[in-house]
A = this chain, B = another copy of it.
Amino acid sequence: MKDKRNLLETFINSFPDRNYLITHQADEFTSVCPKTGQPDFGKITISYIASKKCIELKSLKLYLQSFRNDGIFYENVINGILDDLVSVLKPKWMEVKGIFTVRGGIYSTVISVHGKKPE
């Protein structure tokens, strides 16, 4: 998944001394189930407190779209996104949450966190 990181663009955080909260919720995430080959759908919510860099929104959109035809487990989607964004942004704190649509009558959610949230 390292190549995906090249899709992520950043801009300078002009207020690095202030711990302010940024949230991006992507409602149209889709990937493919590695077991059945069937498409998966879900909502991905990314929350973070920036250090020196912020994520540029259009590049985030393209990054998330890059999963479209990947065969990947829910758990790896969420933790992979967290790893990629942490690697590129070095945030003070970040949480990635995925709420996936029903499959075989089962609804799934995965939440993963990096660092400790400043008060």
Interface residues of A (CB under 8 A from B): 11, 13-15, 18-28, 30, 33, 35-36, 38-39, 41, 50, 54, 56-58, 60-61, 64-65, 68-69, 73-76, 78-79, 83, 101-114
Number of copies: 10
Distance in angstroms from A54 CB to nearest chain B CB is: 5
A68 touches B56 (CB 8 A): no
With the chains together, A64 CA to B39 CA distance in Å?
A: 11
With the chains together, A53 CA to B104 CA distance in Å?
A: 21
With the chains together, A75 CA to B101 CA distance in Å?
A: 25
With the chains together, A24 CA to B111 CA distance in Å?
A: 12
A15 touches B104 (CB 8 A): no
| Interchain residue pairs A-B with the least CB separation, the first 6 | A20-B112, A28-B105, A61-B104, A23-B109, A25-B107, A15-B79
11 A–B contacts from the bound complex (CB under 8 Å): A14-B76, A15-B79, A18-B112, A20-B78, A25-B107, A57-B74, A57-B103, A58-B103, A60-B106, A68-B68, A102-B105
